[in-house]
Amino acid sequence: MSRKPKVAIIGGGVGGLAAALALHRLGMEFEVYEQASHINEIGAGLNLSPNALKAFRMLGFENEAIEAGWQDEYQCTRSWRTAFPISRQPRKLTSDIYGAQYLTLHRADLQSLLLERLPETHVHTGKACVDAGTNGKTAYARFTDGSSVDADIVIGADGIHSAVRDALYGKQPPHFTGCICWRGLVPVEAVANIPYVKDLAAWWGPHGHVVHYRVRRGELVNFVAHYDSDAWTEESWTTECTKDELIGTFARWNDALLQLFDQSERYYKWALYDRDPLPQWSKRQVSLLGDSAHPMLPYLGQGAASAVEDACILARVLDDSEGNIEAKLQRYEALRKPRTTRMQLVSRERAKENHLTSPAARLMRDAKVAFRSRFGSDKSIFKAGWVYEYDPATTPIG
């Protein structure tokens, strides 16, 4: 095909909008179809490691993301009860080694940064996809309102409950991890006199852990609390709850955390589900991206970052003159699948380490982390140097 392909992107979340921007910057035709009546991302925070910032650099808004977000001076891990610092790493060290900052950012702010760089007429809301596939040399997507679109390529970026993935491979039920999560946002001035909680930290304890960090130029503290329990099994991120069950669950944890929890105006909870890596992402002219292709547990902090990486590599491959559409989508999958599969599996292993119940096992883990962060060649807390060094703009695609 001599002309550049027209791409229909199903889903207007971070991954879908990043794909649209990557294509737009390379002069390719695209349309985004989002099921919601308007794009308004939930109020949650994101940890964005250097590989994500390098993707933002390729997409042309790294500096704007830094201005909208926050970078703490240190990243800490603490003991659940005493607040003893297991490790304490300067964030600047990460930036110096891996060539980009480690940022915390409000998800809605990232979505706005992407949206404002796209022509409004190419983003369509109220379009819930129910089917996708190919018809001859054309890819198609169909929506609940009875409409449909044809394109050279359809990309399913419609999230963890992807209709495009279901259309390609059938419904694949997830596995409940036995973990429940709670989240909230607190104005930073409300915790001014509470120790520890204004800075980025992960608290590790028996059956659970808590992460908190600042977003929106440091104005808000985002917290996420994880705990092993089967008392709740709904996967939705938008289910509100009371603070009583959260504080009751963590009643024996450090008082600074309980004070932080107490300051949020709204609380949300969801059950955490895991999904096995897909054997393949692409069929003919249809492929997947982000959570549609490789939903992963949050313990490596790579859900959003990996989706934006996907977007950058997809655009580069489609812009390459070599190969037909099917071959290009296969090459995109071959370039991305090994890395994202490894991320999925490492995230799964991190979940086990974060929630150790044995005091002896926790002591051994903490000693290893403390030693590695001080003396190891890979000083990242999660041995994630292989994640952070990646740059989608310079990764070979041939």
Q: Are 390 and 54 in contact (CB under 8 A)?
A: yes
Q: Could you count the other beta carbons within 10 Å of the beta carbon of residue 371?
A: 11
Q: Is 213 a catalytic residue?
A: yes
Strands 148-151 and 138-143: antiparallel
Integer-rounded Cα Rg, in Å, for the chain is: 21
Q: Which two tokens stand for residue 246?
A: 């959260």
List of residues 6+ apart from 170 with CB closer than 8 A: none
Options 98, 102, 213, 267, the catalytic residue: 213
3-state helix, strand, coil in the chain (%, to 5): 35, 25, 35
Q: What is the dihedral of CA 164, 132, 18, 182, to 10 degrees?
A: -20
Q: Are 241 and 182 in contact (CB under 8 A)?
A: yes
Residue 245, SS3 per DSSP: helix
Q: Are 98 and 210 in contact (CB under 8 A)?
A: no
Give backbone dihedrals phi and psi of 8, rounded to 5 degrees, phi first. -100, 120
| H or E stretch covering 299 | none
Give catalytic residue positions.
213
